[in-house]
Amino acid sequence: MIEEIYNDLYKIELPLQGNPLKSINCYLIKGSERFLLIDTGMNRKECLEEINRDLRQLNVDLNKTDFFITHLHADHIGQVSELATGTSKIYFNKKEAEFVKKGDFWTLAYPAALANGFTEEELTRILNDHPGRRYGLKGKIDFSLCSDGDEIIISEYSLTCIETPGHSPGHHCLYDADKDILFSGDHLLGDITPNISAFGFLNENPLKDYLASLNKTYVLDVALVLPGHRELFNDHKGRIDEIKKHHQMRLNEVLTILEGQEGLTAYEIASRMSWDISNNSWVDFPLVQKWFATAEALAHLIYLEDQGAVIKQMIGKQWHYSLLSGGPVNMKS
């Protein structure tokens, strides 16, 4: 589905079948000599059919098309290998280009997930069903690496790369300071909160990174946010305030869960947290959603550990978290 936003700027909405996100927004800018496509959708048949149909309708020549990928998640990067040609530039951040090149995420994630409370049987099923594995990037890509502050100019748009880690380790937005528009990827979403995940095998504090990235984009003059999912929106500062409040509540919720406990795994803590999902109980959660929920619980635990509020101990073969200090923790933002 195509929506014209401004002159030479279009939103292309692609389906995410069976995914709670429902769809992803890609953005096309038509230049006089080249086209730029921001994000690509999952590497799935229905996504490829839809985007090819939409690009034909917009008279886009893929031999004259470059790509900007906001981050490495499958719904954003998955189809670039299907769409790019030998003449395409594929702009991507340096940090996640190394992730993609190594290709060892699942090898490292498996033992870390066991240590954080998953069973082997659950992980086997997750690895079979996880969309990141099934519908991600296929083949090797020669990326044009971009860094914070780099500029991409096409048509009447001057786009500055803004490094915004948190939702993913190297997430980038694009910002046009003249037009006050922000292509936010999954850094800012209007009516859902971006998932902030940790996996337990990286030197990571994604929530801390994310809060810093929110502060970084808060000071920008933004009239319109073009997010990776759902509807476009205007009040980015108000939305950032809401997201910060959400994570403060999450931190307090985790601390409350840990009260009176000798130690819980991230998986056990996630099972006791509140989630905006239709299933009645944790037992009924789809396994892939348990993966995302546990990763988000872990991100908050790592933040709390860094703030000196919880302590992590290995008991048996699993990491357990317990309270180290009483009282609420105020986010440093």
Mind giving me the DSSP string for 178-219?
Answer: TTTEEEEETTS-SSSPPP----SSSS--HHHHHHHHHHHHHT
Using CA atoms, how far apart are residues 71 and 191, in angstroms rounded to an integer? Answer: 20
Residue 330 lies in a domain: no
Confirm if 10 and 4 have CB atoms less than 8 A apart: yes
pLDDT for 281: 87
Last residue of a domain, one of 224, 241, 258: 241
Task: Give a yes or no: residue 333 inside a domain.
Answer: no
Instruction: Supply φ then ψ for residue 103, to 5 degrees.
Output: 65, 30
Point out the domain boundary residue: 185, 206, 241.
241
Same-domain check for residues 125 and 252: no
- Is residue 331 a part of any domain in this protein? no
Closest CA to 272 of 287, 296, 254: 254
Tell me whether residue 278 is in a domain: yes
Q: Does residue 286 sit in the same domain as residue 179? A: no
Rounded Cα distance between 224 and 181, Å, is 5
The reply to whether 114 and 34 lie within a common domain is: yes
Residues 231 and 124 in one domain: yes
Are 160 and 139 contained in the same domain? yes
Asked which of 241, 276, 303 is the last residue of a domain, the reply is: 241
Distance CA 112, CA 255 (A): 22
pTM for the model: 0.95
C-alpha closest to that of 36 among 6, 8, 7? 8
Q: Dig out the tokens for 78 from the structure.
A: 């998955």
- CATH code, domain with 293: 1.10.10
> pLDDT tens track of the chain, all 333 residues?
999 999 999 999 999 988 888 999 999 999 999 999 999 999 999 999 999 999 999 999 999 999 999 999 999 999 999 999 999 999 999 999 998 998 888 889 999 999 999 999 999 999 888 888 889 898 889 999 999 999 999 999 999 999 999 999 999 999 999 999 999 999 999 999 999 999 988 889 999 999 999 999 999 999 999 999 999 999 999 999 999 999 999 999 999 999 999 999 999 999 999 998 777 789 889 999 999 999 999 999 999 999 999 999 999 999 999 998 766 677 775
pLDDT for 328 equals 65
Helix, strand, coil percentages for the chain (3-state, nearest 5): 35, 20, 40
- Looking up residue 53, the CATH number of its domain turns out to be 3.60.15.10
Q: Which amino acid is at 94?
A: K
pLDDT of residue 258: 97
Are residue 17 and residue 98 in the same domain, yes or no?
Answer: yes
Residue 266 lies in a domain: yes
Rounded distance between C-alpha atoms, residue 187 and residue 50, angstroms? 25
How high is the pLDDT of residue 133? 87
* Per-residue pLDDT, 203: 86
208 lies in the same domain as 84: yes
Same-domain check for residues 15 and 145: yes
Q: Which domain holds residue 300?
A: 247-323
Q: Is the dihedral of CA 103, 107, 112, 113 positive or negative?
A: positive
Residues in Cβ contact with 261 at an 8 Å cutoff, skipping those fewer than 6 apart: 322, 323
| φ/ψ (deg, to 5) at 161 | -75, 130
Answer whether residue 328 is part of any domain. no
- Angstrom distance (rounded) from CA 9 to CA 210: 28
Q: Is the same domain home to 38 and 175? A: yes
The answer to whether 81 touches 137, Cβ cutoff 8 Å, is yes
Round to whole Å and give the CA distance between 231 and 265. 36
Residue 115 and residue 25 in one domain: yes
Between the two ends of the chain, the Cα-to-Cα distance in Å is 38
236 & 311 share domain: no
Within a domain: residue 205?
yes
Q: Does one domain contain both 315 and 193?
A: no
What is d(CA 129, CA 232) in angstroms, rounded to the nearest whole number? Answer: 30
Structural domain includes residue 22: yes
Q: What is the pLDDT of residue 279?
A: 72
Q: Which pLDDT value is given to residue 329?
A: 72
What would you report as the CA-atom Rg of the chain, rounded to the nearest whole angstrom? 20
Structural domains of the chain, count: 2
